[in-house]
């Protein structure tokens, strides 16, 4: 049992809590979890939890059946998210997939700098590398020590990446503290309890690898040592266990991922390099880990693996790592996550962020505002918002799609998220048309969310008791095969799926169910009667992130930590260069053409001749002009060539040309 104390508890009240527990047969101990003071109570004592919770200075009581109390999901139901680095924009856990990459060991200044640049370019957000290497043979390369750590820190700062490196002894922990952003406890040291206590007391994030022969409970108890010592940021790393199999270096325990995530709130990542030990097998194991629910990966990459001083056979070439990152990005939406990307290093962007100005690149004033979406808590739009901006981002609910545009235009929201297309139902034309009514709003990003529908009802309901089902009309359409099996059910349309769930929670009706996502059920404390009831599992909705254009004509990125988007309007090429974000690879525009033969063909030819691949072309009636049409177009932005020059040429062949925005497209 854990008793969480108020931050302003007096010494007298704290002692009263201790005495209260001892008198009832418990052994007590003082603990810290980050900034929280706690008292742990162990033993077979008996206590009234309500009475204990009313004692002066007691904030809450968490009773747990697990020996790893602080790490247990019984103590904390929500997933923990660990922030790494000075800016905190590298986060592990939640709706993101975080990739750590780098060499097994720092071998030289040039080697670690080259590796850092290559993995950063491919999308890694945290640099790994060993300065101290515990090796089986005393004659093997043991690392460069503090000099290697200095090289690594230098390379990481140049590439705007935090670093994680292994600490091998309690004596070195304090010396390494200021040179690393995250400590790694290696597999051999998982049960070095003095090291765990020392590192935990320093308060920095810790990556804890599973020992080669450790059970899941032993692994979590090692995490408990770190948490009890004072740090609140622990990431668990599965790196394979020792079995009888010899065809791989270790056996990757994929099953440990869902098991640990059910037992603990801590993030879980996987080290496929050490798990299989064979370069050709690393990518397959990495993708399997993501499919099993891992929050991220740590991958060994070396520019010349054949010359590596350690672990060369399992280190990926930079080209292999780049392909792996593309594969992860393609897989991420299937498991309901987004690959985390962070802004690339840029002095101009750093100056913007330091000033806190509302400028391309973000700023303190901008990022403090909420992000707007339509619907209630648990809506698919809110899930898309979290995928882009993170769980911690403040958000505001509005009652209509138009309300999102109004909130962004008026400045009460820094950004908004709107659905524009479903892979089965087609375009949300209302939102496409709103872009024409709000010329000062631009598209700054997109996210594709897999839509998994559930039948949700109250705690007392079951399939036999249901007589009425509520949802958005598209929810009904997407679950038609399931609903056809229950012809007696009455269907009631709602403004959105989350609103349908909310209405059931407020009414408490046992005969009414809703079709919505699992997140809505969790928010309202309802139960899922049946999951995955959509007719077609390849059901995705494309959401666009919108932002207000600035006075210079450019639109600023939402400014969220880890955001991957940057917007532009025609003429924004200079802003892109100084934004610190990745260059956009997709653009959206709308135009009409003269009423004469070949007009549309001429526009399409300009795009084709300049390497602009069309991913969407849709006609829409022009409001107030019967039988006249405009065309919505999504195009790729090629790596070579002057994209804006092509846009200027396109203007000469069109009427009412509107550039809606340029951004990073999601796969």
Would you please indicate which residues are annotated as catalytic (active-site) residues? 541, 543
Cα(632)–Cα(421) distance, integer angstroms: 12
Q: How far is CA 224 from CA 18, 190, 197, 215, 219, in A?
A: 21, 11, 10, 14, 9
Residue 614 dihedral angles phi and psi, to the nearest 5°: -85, 125
Pairing of strands 371-374, 415-422: parallel
The candidate with the shortest Cα–Cα distance to 587, out of 609, 560, 568, 561, is 568
Q: In this structure, are residues 135 and 141 in contact, taking their beta carbons and an 8 Å threshold? A: yes
Q: Give me the sheet containing 36-42, strands edge to edge.
A: 27-33, 36-42, 2-5, 58-62
96 Cβ partners below 8 Å, 6+ apart?
A: 295, 296, 337, 338, 339, 340, 387, 390, 562
- Lookup: tokens for 346: 């840029």
d(CA 496, CA 665): 26
Locate tokens 């006075």: which residue? 551
Give SS3 for 384. helix
* 269 Cβ neighbours under 8 A, 6+ residues apart: 92, 98, 100, 207, 235, 236, 237, 238, 294, 295, 296, 297, 298
| Rounded-to-integer distance, Cα 210 and Cα 187, Å | 5
State the DSSP code for 631. Answer: E
Angle between helices 279-291 and 318-331 (to 10 degrees): 20
Rounded to whole angstroms, the Cα distance separating 290 from 635 reads: 30
DSSP annotation string for 239-281: --B--S--SSSSB--TTHHHHHHHHBSS-EEE-HHHHH--HHH
How open is the CA angle 532-534-537, to the nearest 5 degrees? Answer: 80
Distant-in-sequence, close-in-space partners of 483: CB < 8 Å, separation ≥ 6? 469, 476, 489, 491
Handedness of CA 499, 505, 511, 517 (dihedral sign): positive
Task: Quote the CA–CA distance of 294 and 543 in Å, as a whole number.
Answer: 24
Q: Are 461 and 517 in contact (CB under 8 A)?
A: no
Distance separating the N- and C-terminal Cα atoms of the chain: 45
Taking a C-beta distance cutoff of 8 angstroms, is the pair 567, 661 a contact? yes
How far is residue 651's CA from residue 667's CA, in Å, rounded to a whole number?
Answer: 29
């Amino acid at each position: 049992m854990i008793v969480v104390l108020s931050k302003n508890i007096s010494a007298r009240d704290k002692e009263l809590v201790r005495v209260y527990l001892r008198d009832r047969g418990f052994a007590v101990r003082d603990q810290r979890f980050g900034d929280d003071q706690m008292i742990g109570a162990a033993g077979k004592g008996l206590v009234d939890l309500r009475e204990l919770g009313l004692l002066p200075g007691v904030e809450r009581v968490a009773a747990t059946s697990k020996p790893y109390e602080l790490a247990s999901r019984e103590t904390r139901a929500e997933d923990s998210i660990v922030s790494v680095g000075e800016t905190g924009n590298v986060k592990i856990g939640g709706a993101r997939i975080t990739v750590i990459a780098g060499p097994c060991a720092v071998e030289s200044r040039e080697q670690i700098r080259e590796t850092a640049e290559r993995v950063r370019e491919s999308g890694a957000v945290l640099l790994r590398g060993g300065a101290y290497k515990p090796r089986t043979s005393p004659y093997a390369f043991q690392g460069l020590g503090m000099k290697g750590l200095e090289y690594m820190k230098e390379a990481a700062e140049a590439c705007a990446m935090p670093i994680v490196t292994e600490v091998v002894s309690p004596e070195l922990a304090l010396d390494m503290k200021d040179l690393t952003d995250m400590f790694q406890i290696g597999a051999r040291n998982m049960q070095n309890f003095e090291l765990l206590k020392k590192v935990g007391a320093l308060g920095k994030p810790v990556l804890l690898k599973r020992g080669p022969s450790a059970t899941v409970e032993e692994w979590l108890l090692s995490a408990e040592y770190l948490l009890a010592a004072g740090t609140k940021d622990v990431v668990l790393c599965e790196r394979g266990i020792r079995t009888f199999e010899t065809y791989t270096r270790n056996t990757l325990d994929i099953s440990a991922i869902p098991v640990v995530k059910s037992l603990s709130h801590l993030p879980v990542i996987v080290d496929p390099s050490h798990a299989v030990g064979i370069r050709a097998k690393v990518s397959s194991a990495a993708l399997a880990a993501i499919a099993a629910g891992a929050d991220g990966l740590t991958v060994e990459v070396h520019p010349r693996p054949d010359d590596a001083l350690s672990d060369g056979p399992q280190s990926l070439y930079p080209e292999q790592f780049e392909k792996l990152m593309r594969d992860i990005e393609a897989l991420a939406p299937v498991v309901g996550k987004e690959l985390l990307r962070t802004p690339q290093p840029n002095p101009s962007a750093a100056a913007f962020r330091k000033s806190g100005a509302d400028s391309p690149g973000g700023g303190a004033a901008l990022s403090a505002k909420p992000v707007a979406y339509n619907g209630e808590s648990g809506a698919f739009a809110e899930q898309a918002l979290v995928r882009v901006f993170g769980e911690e981002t403040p958000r505001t609910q509005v009652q209509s799609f138009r309300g999102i545009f109004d909130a962004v235009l008026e400045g009460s929201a820094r950004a908004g998220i709107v659905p524009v297309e479903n892979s089965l139902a087609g375009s949300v034309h209302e939102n496409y048309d709103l872009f024409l009514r709000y010329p000062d709003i631009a598209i700054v990003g997109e996210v594709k969310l897999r839509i998994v529908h559930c039948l949700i009802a109250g705690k007392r309901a079951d399939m036999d008791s249901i007589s009425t089902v509520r949802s958005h009309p598209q929810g009904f359409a997407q679950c038609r095969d399931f609903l056809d099996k229950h012809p007696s059910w009455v269907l009631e349309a709602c403004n959105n799926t989350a609103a349908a769930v909310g209405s059931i929670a407020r009414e408490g009706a046992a005969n009414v169910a809703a079709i919505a996502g699992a997140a809505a059920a969790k928010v309202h404390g309802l139960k899922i009667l049946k999951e995955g009831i959509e007719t077609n599992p390849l059901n995705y909705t494309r959401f666009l992130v919108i932002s207000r254009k600035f006075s210079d004509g450019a639109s600023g990125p939402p400014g969220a930590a880890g955001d991957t988007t940057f917007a532009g309007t025609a003429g924004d090429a200079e802003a892109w260069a100084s934004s610190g974000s990745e260059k956009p690879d997709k653009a959206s525009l709308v135009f009409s053409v003269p009423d004469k033969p070949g007009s549309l063909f001429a526009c399409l030819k300009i795009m084709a001749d300049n390497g602009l691949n069309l991913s969407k072309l849709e006609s829409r009636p022009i409001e107030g002009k019967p039988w006249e049409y405009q065309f919505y177009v999504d195009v790729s932005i090629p790596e070579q060539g002057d994209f804006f020059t092509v846009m200027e040429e396109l203007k000469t062949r069109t009427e009412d040309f509107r550039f809606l925005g340029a951004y990073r497209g999601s796969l």
